[in-house]
Structure 1
Amino acid sequence: MCLVSASKIPTAAWLVIPHKDKVVHFVFYFVLTLLLYKDFKLKWGVLKKSFAFAFITAVSYGVLIEICQWLFTSGRNAEILDVIANTSGSAFGILILWLRQKLKK
C-alpha cells in the first residue's frame, strides 16, 4: 500500500478528518513500534536494547518507504511531514512502553 498511487486508494466521503494522512502515519508507526518491541523483547529479553531497536527499525523503515516513494513511484511523493508523523508515532509508542514498564516497578 505504501507504494501504490494515492489516486488508486479508495476514500470514504463520510470520513473527513483533517490531516488524516498524518494521523494514519502516526497510528501505523505507533502500532508497528509496539509489535517490534514485543518481538525484540521476546528474542533478547533486554528492555533497553528492545526499546532502541524497535524505535530505530520503525523509523528506518519509514524513511526507506519515503525514499522508495520518491524514487520508484509516479503517483506518490516523499514528504518530510510523513517522516515526522512516523517518527512521532514511534516515539509515542516507546514512551508508552517505557511508562508502562516504570509503573510495573
Structure 2
Amino acid sequence: MTARTRAAIRRVEADHLWPDAVAVALSRFEWAFKEPGRYLSGPGDSPGIEIEDGRDDLEVALLYLPAGARADLGRLVERIDVEFERRTVPDPGWMSEWTAGRWWWWRIRER
C-alpha cells in the first residue's frame, strides 16, 4: 500500500470509522487465513467479533476513499474476498435487509 493510500485511509478512519480500523480489519483476515485448509475462525482474543465485521469496515473505507486509494486497498480486499469465498460455502437461508448488500455475511464456514 502506498503512503498516499495510508494517508487517505487515516482521513476516512477519522471521519467514518476509528483509528486503525482498516489495519485491524486486515489483521483479522490475516489471522484467520493462517489456519490450514478451509477452516476459518476469528481471533481468540475478540469473542463476539467476527471476521465479517472486519469486511464491513473495509467496505466503509472503500466507499469513502478517493479513486486511487480505493483501487490500492481494493486489490487487497479482492484477494481477501477470493480467499474468504474459497473457505466458505453459500448460505441458502433467509437474507435480512441489513445483510442484503453484504454477501460475506451469507457464507457458511466449514468446521
Same fold per superposition (TM over 0.5): no
Higher helix share: 1
Higher strand share: 2
TM-score (norm 1): 0.35
TM-score (norm 2): 0.34
Q: Which protein, 1 or 2, shows the higher relative CO under an 8 Å CA cutoff with sep ≥ 6?
A: 1
